[in-house]
Amino acid sequence: MSPADLERPLPQPITPEAKPYWDGLREGKLMLPKCQDCDHCFFYPRILCPRCASRRIGWIQSSGRGRLFSFEISHQPLNKAFKVKPPYVLAMVELDEGPRLMSNLVGIAPDPKQIRCDMPVEVVYEKLNDEFTLPLFKPAGAAGGR
């Protein structure tokens, strides 16, 4: 698939310190960096721990579960390369392991009366191409992806 056929802009430019994250997603695993000195689990991947500044960083596999920390509903396309038809839900998810990340909430109507902060969510993988898979989230226990 050429980028023009894709519904979403590919993640880029990939930073070397984030490679294990992208490698994990390709295999259907949500990997998170974790400090080997203070056990702090964080996101985004970087070469030191934002809590204790240790450079000893390892990786763990996330449970893929968390809560919808906050959300928005986009009603208009804001980026030509992003072709998902509005309205769609922009999500900030707080994983059970602690870190927050941005994603989309799928498998629910884009309606602020149905979506609420702190609702439990779980990861669903969206393959973009052979190289990139994104972690999206759906309400916990809901059927399927999109």
Cβ closest to another protein, residue 9 vs residue 145: 9
Q: How far apart, in Å, do the first and last CA atoms of the chain sit?
A: 20
Radius of gyration of the chain (CA): 16
**Least distance in angstroms from the C-beta of 132 to another protein:** 8
Residue 143, Cβ density class (10 Å: 0-12 exposed, 13-18 middle, ≥19 buried): exposed
**Least distance in angstroms from the C-beta of 6 to another protein:** 10
3-state secondary structure at position 19 = helix
**55, 47 contact by CB (below 8 A):** yes
Q: List residues near another protein by CB under 8 A.
A: 8-15, 18, 43-44, 50, 69-76, 78-79, 82, 84, 88, 90-92, 99-104, 112, 116-118, 128, 134, 136
Cβ closest to another protein, residue 78 vs residue 143: 78
Cβ closest to another protein, residue 60 vs residue 117: 117
